[in-house]
Amino acid sequence: MWLVINIGCIECHVSSNIVGLIADKVEADALAKRLSESHGWREGGQNEFEVFPLPEVGVIAPEYLQPATK
């Protein structure tokens, strides 16, 4: 599964959102590309559409297992 995410602009206060889960990587990439063209500017700011592989349930990325150091 592939997670398609709309990443809004923090500086412009544009919201981010999960677009959806797509089974096929090629379809997910095509959707992200289409949305970049049609929704690249919304809520008064810039948006990016990214595709990520869906991680295994219950697995936390190693970098987040330890408290952050300053």
Sorted by where each begins, the domain ranges of the chain are: 2-54
Q: What is the pLDDT of residue 67?
A: 81
Which residue type occupies 29? Answer: D
Q: What is the pLDDT of residue 42?
A: 86
Q: Could you tell me the pLDDT band of residue 3, with boundaries at 50, 70 and 90?
A: very high
Q: Mapped to the 3 state alphabet, what secondary structure does the chain carry?
A: CEEEEEECCCCCCCCCEEEEEECCHHHHHHHHHHHHHHHCEECCEECEEEEEECCCCCCCCHHHCCCCCC
* pLDDT greater than 80 at residue 12: yes
Retrieve residue 1's tokens. Answer: 């599964």
Instruction: Give the whole-angstrom CA distance, residue 16 versus residue 69.
Output: 27
- The predicted model gives 3-14 an average pLDDT of 93
The tens digit of pLDDT for each residue in 14-61 reads 999 999 999 999 999 999 999 999 998 988 889 999 999 998 999 998
